[in-house]
A = this chain, B = another copy of it.
């Protein structure tokens, strides 16, 4: 397969230059694919599409199934190869293989990267209604009273509200049959992708993409694209399709405050010996105001300004706050009434957990020895993970603490009145493509056409993914292109995919692949 690598490497430079030139002068792009024809083809071939999807879902793909992961990768490689792609498995010791494939469009000036992960979260079969790798079709979601039904015969009408249940149905195998069907549908109407496509299917996302950076380093020359489509995640809770232009970065810090070297009797020593639980509470209380806004100096300063278009998108995100509050039993929210998306556009500081001695029936009459808190920090564009932790440490020092990196010994304790151990967890930055970036325009337009309405343009997810590997290591922008239903029980038992969302995926990929270049 080496020839392809060389060929790609050579082409890639030209693509990059050409597309940069092209994008700089890009006018609104018209799409040339006929989505009605795509729908017609899908209607005629829905049975086979579902059977193919079920075949893929039947291959076990959790970390406990290394052989299943490889078979999953081989299945995807073979299907891509069958559609004319140069497809192979890229290997790295200790990692499931990466499925890589390239489909060259004659005369194309742009290359889209198409990322999917084919691995799934671990399963606990007893908590599933059906075995997780025996896909079952339902007449509706289980919650909506759906019942199992046989897979349809050829030419039987398929209801878009049917659900298919199996591990990874929604997260994240569904994009694979959707994009394969999109290629088939284009071929059936005598067209083909108008952009070059580089497919990259990872097998380790649910374990934190541990080796993805090493793969990128090793196989960089096969990964020269203009934009990565991250095909993962669900559409909006309102079932409206969305494009997501970023994810937040992540960092974290663990704090340990010290009292006396041993537990002390609270009657004999309480309110004389420093109580680390109280010290920690007092320290944490200095970090935020009553509304949950972070008071650490400069915490919000490095946030990158939003463009007017991005700001518009933030305001346009449909609010689900009222129903969420009802569901979660919350009268009050933090941020003084700010919307969820507004809160997500700034960095956050959250206590993940807190502990000091014991509570409840095992609590004892002592002054605790230590008190611990674990905090996570979500970063937005402009924040640097290390710098954000530096700000927190500066704040802690301002409260009179001496920071240590390991449990202090006796001499250290006797040298400092207030000691805290700060352990910084490794972090990574946020990623966000501006919604008005030229490279995003054809994707937005394709998605609007596929959805038949304006899709939601979500500037960022609140959660974190290491997409900086794409933007920083490979230097390419990303757009997250979700197709799964929001109620897909992602990571949970009875994971599923709504058939209508799979159909949307086929239209979406057809529109994106065959957008006029």
Contacts and interface: CB of A to CB of B under 8 A. Distances in A.
Most buried by B among A272, A328, A374: A272
Interface in A354-393: 354-360, 363-368, 371-374, 376, 378
Contacts of A368: 351-354
14 contacts: A254-B360, A266-B376, A268-B463, A270-B350, A271-B349, A272-B335, A273-B330, A275-B292, A275-B334, A277-B353, A280-B281, A329-B413, A352-B357, A354-B354
A214 to B, nearest CB: 24
Interface string A292-330: 101000000000000000000000000000000010111
Contacts of A417: 331-332
A271 B250 CA distance: 14
A414 interface: yes
Given A358-B355, A364-B352, A269 B329 contact: no
A416 interface: yes
A343 interface: yes
Contact of A326 (B284, B340, B414, B418): B414
A290 to B, nearest CB: 8
Contact of A356 (B354, B366, B413): B354
A335 B284 contact: no
Interface stretch (A77-85, A167-175, A257-265): A257-265
Interface residues of A, number: 81
Contact of A269 (B340, B356, B358, B374): B340
Most buried by B among A338, A371, A463: A463
A290 B282 CA distance: 9
A57 B362 CA distance: 31
A267 interface: yes
A285 interface: yes
A433 interface: no
Most buried by B among A286, A348, A366, A368: A348
A65 interface: no
Contacts of A442: none
Interface in A436-465: 461-464
A288 interface: yes
Given A354-B277, A462-B265, A464-B267, A360 B333 contact: no
A415 B325 CA distance: 12
A292 B284 CA distance: 16
A292 B274 CA distance: 8
A26 to B, nearest CB: 33
Interface in A390-427: 410, 413-418
Given A260-B329, A329-B260, A355 B348 contact: no
Contact of A267 (B264, B266, B371, B462): B462
B273 A334 contact: yes
A354 B357 CA distance: 7
Contacts of A265: 462-463
A412 to B, nearest CB: 9
Contact of A271 (B264, B274, B330, B335): B335
Nearest to A415: B331
A92 interface: no
B349 A365 contact: no
Nearest to A413: B329
A4 interface: no
B328 A352 contact: no
Given A355-B358, A356-B354, A328 B260 contact: yes
A343 B374 contact: no
A248 interface: yes
A355 B352 contact: no
A267 B248 contact: yes
Nearest to A333: B272
A324 B266 CA distance: 15
Nearest to A286: B285
Contact of A367 (B284, B350, B360, B373): B350
Contacts of A414: 326, 329-331
A278 interface: yes
A266 B328 contact: no
Contacts of A343: 271-272
B358 A410 contact: no
A363 B358 contact: no
